Amino acid sequence: MTLPAKPKRNIPLPKNILIGCGIGGAIVIIILVVTMAFPGSTTTSDSSILVDPTKEQQSLFILARVMIQNTGDHPLTNITIDYGDGDKDFIPTLKSGKTILLSPPDGNSLQFVRVTADGGIDVYKAYREPVAMPGMMGS
């Protein structure tokens, strides 16, 4: 007496392609979210800078700030921060490893920030909105 064999289960090719595309799309979305959530630094031959403009909508106001960090080995000089709408700040020197937090002027449209400095540094970034965590201010 022999036992009946289980029938082979074949998944049709179009279904395999659909599953593969779904997994690939999910991986691309995860990579995109991670790169947007954790901004990288911009590097030139001697200098490196991290620029992170954020804006958070609170119940009564918008909290906006621009973090600038010298991630290179040399001091950055003649740093110009252009908030748009004609609003600018100027920082003469930022030592290696140091971080500064700046606030755009009241009434700014908070669309983008452009940071330039000696050594060929030119970074243009849009403001990002951090993910609101339950229990945190503004969520």
Mean of the per-residue pLDDT values for the chain? Answer: 83
Give the total number of structural domains in the chain: 1
Confidence (pLDDT) at 132: 67
CB 76 within 8 Å of CB 115: no
Selection from 58, 63, 85, 78 nearest residue 122 by Cα: 78
Residue linked to tokens 């779904």: 22
- Contact between 113 and 103 under an 8 Å Cβ cutoff? The reply is no
CATH of the domain at 74: 2.60.40
- 53 in a domain, yes or no? yes
Domain extent, residue 62, equals 42-126
Say whether pLDDT at 14 is over 80. Answer: no
Whether 128 shows a pLDDT value over 80: the answer reads yes
Average pLDDT of the residues in 8-29: 81
Of 79, 75, 78, which Cα lies nearest the Cα of 66?
Answer: 79
Tally of CA atoms within 13 A in the half-sphere of 95 that contains its CB: 1
pLDDT digits (tens, 9 = 90+) for 52-86: 999 988 778 888 999 999 988 889 999 999 998 88
